[in-house]
A = this chain, B = another copy of it.
Amino acid sequence: MPIVYVTRHLHFSAAHRLHTDMLNDQKNKEIYGLCNNPPGHGHNYELEITVRGEPDPVTGMVIDLKELKDIVEKEIIAHVDHKHLNYDVDFLKGIVPTAENIVIAFWEQLKNKLSNCELVELKLYETPRNIAIYRGE
């Protein structure tokens, strides 16, 4: 049976600040530059979830994209949309919210929530120019 990849695109708007307690303020400023601004700044994040699987021989679908959207909205978007990622999100507590760390945390949120298909990639656009991708490696 052929294997097809299916991608769903969603978005959310959030604030974040890049800062780690493992370094002093001076060092934080050097490393994170403008992203270290104390009250934070923000982005319209774009998120692409890709799963793979065999299309069901009756329905012709790997997964109902409406169902995939509902799962991602419940497990991820509802927690981060219109939030400040440093303060408001349980599963990001204690993590510097770089795009790299966010996309790994999103993977952990999603990985056991999908049946009949395999999560293969999360792609997070912080801006249209800055992108992080995690494939569970």
Count, chain A residues at interface, CB 8 A: 67
Known: A20-B58, A31-B64. A4 touches B129 (CB 8 A): no
Q: Identify which of B61, B64, B96, B130 contacts A8 (C-beta below 8 A).
A: B130
Enumerate chain B residues within 8 angstroms of A135, measured Cβ to Cβ.
3, 5
Known: A14-B41, A41-B82. A58 touches B23 (CB 8 A): yes
Best-surrounded residue of A41, A44, A84, A95 (most CB of chain B within 10 A): A41
CB distance from A60 to the nearest CB of B (A): 4
- Check B4–A88 contact: CB distance below 8 A: no
CA gap between A59 and B35 in the complex, in Å: 12
- Check B5–A133 contact: CB distance below 8 A: yes
- Check A42–B42 contact: CB distance below 8 A: yes
Interface string of A91-108 (1 = CB under 8 A from B): 000011111110110000
CA gap between A33 and B64 in the complex, in Å: 10
- Check B131–A9 contact: CB distance below 8 A: yes
Residue of B nearest to A45 (CB): B44
Interface residues of A (CB under 8 A from B): 2-11, 13-16, 18, 20, 22-23, 31-35, 37, 39-44, 50, 55, 58-62, 64-66, 81-84, 86-88, 95-101, 103-104, 127-137
